[in-house]
Structure 1
Amino acid sequence: MDDQSETVAFLRGLTGADGRPAEVVETHGALIFLCGDTALKLKRAVVYDYMDLSTLARRKALLDRELELNRPAAPKIYRDLVPVTRGPEGLRLGGEGAPVEWLLRMARFPAEDELAVIAARQGIGDGMAEALGQAVQRYHRAAPLRAAEGPKLIADILDELARVFAGMEAVLGPEAPARFDAEARATLDRVAPLLARRAAEGHVRRCHGDLHLGNLVLIDGLPTPFDALEFDEVLGTCDVLYDLAFLLMDLCHRDLRQAANITLASWLLQAGGTEDAGLEALPLFLAVRAAIRAMVLVQTDAARGSDEAGPEARRLLAEALAALRRAPPRLVAMGGRSGSGKTTLARLLAPGVGAMPGAVHMRSDTERKAGAEPVDYSPEGRARIYARMLERASCLLGAGQSVLLDATFLDEADRAAAERLAAAVRVPFHGLWLEAPPAILLARVASRRGDASDADAAVVEGQLSDGTEPEEWLRIDAGDGLEPALAAARAALG
């Protein structure tokens, strides 16, 4: 094994422009030296079951791959590779001598801009969650296609989990790992044809592979993935929905289920409906991601000679089992005039409806603006939007995912179409109608800033004079505060 002690001592002695010594961050496979506005990453000379960094050539190859994978998505972070060379005066960065080590040179970013830190400090707001879904969808669209056997990728992971969990019964107990293995394999058997189709249709790509909040950072105010999994092409190649599932699981584990729900809806919206049918596999993907996180926690704990991770690992495994429980899907339609608070209420309601991370919230205003050509407000345009929403809802319900439709539903024909859809796919239907005094509706639309809805006072006044109100939907007073309206909606859904 290569001796890196001299190189490490040299790098520890570096100083930034301000004269302050380098800070050092240690991981299982690397040392990162934070020096002024620069971060220098050194691969440690270590060997694990899944990663061999024992030689300089191997370390450089993985640094090259790390740069190649990450620079397209994060060009403002990833710069280049720089050698540590030996000259007449000892070690130096760069130079003409033979390299004794290679480093990945990156731009340093504030630790407080990492999404894991932001989540711990203040949670993930609705706007940030929407941007997160958009950023991940952009990443996946740019990811290279890979030929793979979709079911085999997950089957191999389940085999590895079973092998490793067998040695963790002292921490995890015997029952939960056995239940997880049985239920996950039964679910895989059920969705295997879907995974095979998705692989054939191009949903398997060279993804990030390690997409949790700790590997996302705000750059120019936008969530940016970094530190993609570079040491194993097999693990880095997966279904894009499985890649996203790590992030959704991480958000749910941090009790940020509303953010997970909005992130998923945003990711699906940007995909233009092409990913909706895949949600039949999402419970399995979430469960496997949670189980892997539990396994890694126990392994890391053991390597440190600690026993502190047991409770969290057991909680993760319990979350994996919860994800595998199939919640019967339902269709919720939330109607009302502009300004009645439909979207605000829907965002709070959706996470608790159906399977983790909740019902897919489809809003007519965002659906109207999605795609290359936004749809106008004409009667024909409105009809196209409702038809598109119902088409997507049919696909999602067929995949076992609950749906919450958020639109005015002022036309009786649109309400009837939603009810017919629920009957056709044999799922429960819930119609919720929000109402508020005209003065409140007008004040709310006047106060909107940066909202997807373009409705103004003229639109509201037109809605007050036209359209019909449903007699059979549950009426909810949305003019007397959010909490009473939310309580009434939750009570209606049980």
Structure 2
Amino acid sequence: MNRQQLNLLRKNPDLKNAELIETHISWLLLTPHKVYKMKKDVQFSFLDFSTLDKRKFYCERELKLNRRTAPDMYEAVVAVNPIGGGLEFGAYQDNSIDYAIRMRRVDKRWEMAGMLERGEVTTAHIDRLADQLAAFHQHATMDKSLFNPIKALDAFSDIGNYVELFNAQIGPAKTDRIMSSIRIARTFLHKHRQRFHCRRILGFTVEGHGDLHASNVFLEHGQPILFDCIEFNDAFRKIDVLDEVAFLCVDLEAAGRADLSERFATSYQSANRSLLTEEDEQMFNYYKCYRASVRLKVTAIKLDHLPGEAHAGKLLCQLRRYREIYHRYVSKLQTYAHEPLAHV
């Protein structure tokens, strides 16, 4: 879906008053009761929506995967079809020009990120969310394939593909400091590769959500809804459960709620014990470091692709917070990478 097609679609009488939300990879049209999510014609190092067939495939995949955790929210994939001089949503046709996921609209006031900003997230919310995530993981498909430290480092090192972007936003000196952390991650992965593999054999790598941050959780009337999982890259979704927990912990800490981050990790362990050794604790820090790098990268991309966005100042603040958290985790990672393990 390109902007010209989007503008034609918005001329449809049923959509002319729809609210438009733009992200770096999607457009969302919000009507009073429904949301239509369309994938942009874009390609990045981590996804490819550059053809019509790919956008159709990933719309259908997104629907199927998200129904695991939000079955009442994700309804169907619909086509974008020509009608007169405009466009409309409807059934698949030979001349369909694009596709969208149709969802039940959930009131934005239940979005966890906003609730954190307003101080509305309680320990009861956190406990229910931890229990739901633990149950999801316990029933998810396990992946016992060999741990590949090269692929793991490639995932961590993807932040290195955005040097120019970071140079423009935070300056070369701060960018160099971020890039130097890749070497520390390489040392850590090499040192602990046996434990990474052992955890796969033990069943701790599952086909999870893959993008579990605070903006992808609704707490509707206190009940968690996990939505918008990774559909465009299977490797991003087949992860250690500690990696999944770490992602939300990073967002809670970035919101200034380290207490809720600790509560979430503890509650999750009560429901699905997966921190078994001191080495696992160190790996949990590694995953926090990695997830902070993901948040850094995505926030930088948002700033670059939405230069006129009204909340650019907010994004810059988020960039700073994630950078601070990232460096804190890197410091611990460096200690773990170079010092011998204590006896466990």
- TM-score normalised by the chain length of structure 1: 0.60
- Please give the alpha-carbon distance, in whole angstroms, between the structure 1 residues aligned to 2:331 and 2:3: 49
- Please give the alpha-carbon distance, in whole angstroms, between the structure 1 residues aligned to 2:243 and 2:92: 45
Q: 1:155 to 1:6 in 2, by over 3 A?
A: closer
After superposition, the C-alpha distances for 1:138-194 in whole angstroms (9 at most, x for unaligned) are: 222232222352534431123323443476345252552254234333332332221
Q: Corresponding residue for 2:276?
A: 276
Structure number with higher relative contact order (C-alpha < 8 Å, ≥ 6 residues apart): 2
- Please give the alpha-carbon distance, in whole angstroms, between the structure 2 residues aligned to 1:192 and 1:159: 17
Equivalent in 129, 134, 141 of residue 132 of structure 1: 129
Q: Corresponding residue for 2:233?
A: 232
The 5-angstrom pairing of residues 369-448 of structure 1 reads none
Amino acid at match of 1:198: R
Q: Corresponding residue for 2:266?
A: 265
Q: 1:116 to 1:284 in 2, by over 3 A?
A: same
The alignment status of 1:320 with 2:319, answered yes or no, reads: no
Q: 1:88 to 1:287 in 2, by over 3 A?
A: closer
In the TM superposition, residue 209 of structure 1 has moved relative to its aligned partner by 1.3
Is the deviation greater in 250-259 or in 76-85?
76-85
In the TM superposition, residue 113 of structure 1 has moved relative to its aligned partner by 0.4
The 5-angstrom pairing of residues 153-172 of structure 1 reads 153-165=151-163, 168-169=166-167, 171=170
Is the deviation greater in 161-170 or in 27-36?
161-170
* CA contact 1:14–1:22 (8 Å) conserved in 2: no
RMSD (Å), alpha carbons: 3.0
In the TM superposition, residue 305 of structure 1 has moved relative to its aligned partner by 4.5
In the TM superposition, residue 107 of structure 1 has moved relative to its aligned partner by 0.2
- Please give the alpha-carbon distance, in whole angstroms, between the structure 2 residues aligned to 1:311 and 1:217: 23
The alignment status of 1:45 with 2:41, answered yes or no, reads: yes
- Please give the alpha-carbon distance, in whole angstroms, between the structure 2 residues aligned to 1:284 and 1:45: 33
Amino acid at match of 1:164: Y
Q: Corresponding residue for 1:106?
A: 103
- Please give the alpha-carbon distance, in whole angstroms, between the structure 1 residues aligned to 2:199 and 2:166: 33
- Identical-residue share of aligned pairs (%): 23
- Please give the alpha-carbon distance, in whole angstroms, between the structure 2 residues aligned to 1:279 and 1:82: 44
After superposition, the C-alpha distances for 1:248-268 in whole angstroms (9 at most, x for unaligned) are: 011111110110111001111
* CA contact 1:67–1:78 (8 Å) conserved in 2: yes
Q: Corresponding residue for 1:28?
A: 24
Alignment partner of 2:186: what SS?
helix
Q: 1:168 to 1:33 in 2, by over 3 A?
A: closer
Name structure 2 gaps, 5 residues minimum.
none
Alignment partner of 1:122: what SS?
coil
- Please give the alpha-carbon distance, in whole angstroms, between the structure 2 residues aligned to 1:239 and 1:21: 43
Alignment partner of 2:206: what SS?
strand
- What is the number of equivalent residue pairs in this alignment? 327
- Please give the alpha-carbon distance, in whole angstroms, between the structure 2 residues aligned to 1:90 and 1:148: 51
- Please give the alpha-carbon distance, in whole angstroms, between the structure 1 residues aligned to 2:80 and 2:286: 45
Amino acid at match of 1:121: R
- Please give the alpha-carbon distance, in whole angstroms, between the structure 2 residues aligned to 1:240 and 1:115: 21
Amino acid at match of 2:322: L
* CA contact 1:135–1:224 (8 Å) conserved in 2: no
Q: 1:196 to 1:166 in 2, by over 3 A?
A: farther
- Please give the alpha-carbon distance, in whole angstroms, between the structure 2 residues aligned to 1:179 and 1:96: 49
Q: Corresponding residue for 1:254?
A: 255
Q: Corresponding residue for 1:176?
A: 177
The alignment status of 1:217 with 2:213, answered yes or no, reads: no
* CA contact 1:23–1:34 (8 Å) conserved in 2: yes
In the TM superposition, residue 29 of structure 1 has moved relative to its aligned partner by 1.7
After superposition, the C-alpha distances for 1:21-56 in whole angstroms (9 at most, x for unaligned) are: 211111122211111211111222233333222322
- Please give the alpha-carbon distance, in whole angstroms, between the structure 2 residues aligned to 1:33 and 1:220: 24
Q: 1:23 to 1:303 in 2, by over 3 A?
A: closer
- Please give the alpha-carbon distance, in whole angstroms, between the structure 1 residues aligned to 2:86 and 2:318: 47
After superposition, the C-alpha distances for 1:195-225 in whole angstroms (9 at most, x for unaligned) are: 1111222212222111100000024531111
Amino acid at match of 2:287: F
Amino acid at match of 2:276: D
- TM-score normalised by the chain length of structure 2: 0.84
Q: Corresponding residue for 2:68?
A: 72
Alignment partner of 1:134: what SS?
helix
- Dislocated runs of 4+, deviation >6 Å: none
In the TM superposition, residue 67 of structure 1 has moved relative to its aligned partner by 0.4
Q: Corresponding residue for 2:305?
A: 303
Alignment partner of 1:183: what SS?
helix
Q: 1:95 to 1:87 in 2, by over 3 A?
A: farther
- Please give the alpha-carbon distance, in whole angstroms, between the structure 2 residues aligned to 1:303 and 1:7: 17
- Please give the alpha-carbon distance, in whole angstroms, between the structure 1 residues aligned to 2:149 and 2:92: 49
Q: 1:301 to 1:93 in 2, by over 3 A?
A: closer
Bigger Rg, which one: 1
Q: 1:285 to 1:13 in 2, by over 3 A?
A: same
- Please give the alpha-carbon distance, in whole angstroms, between the structure 1 residues aligned to 2:327 and 2:5: 48
Amino acid at match of 1:134: D
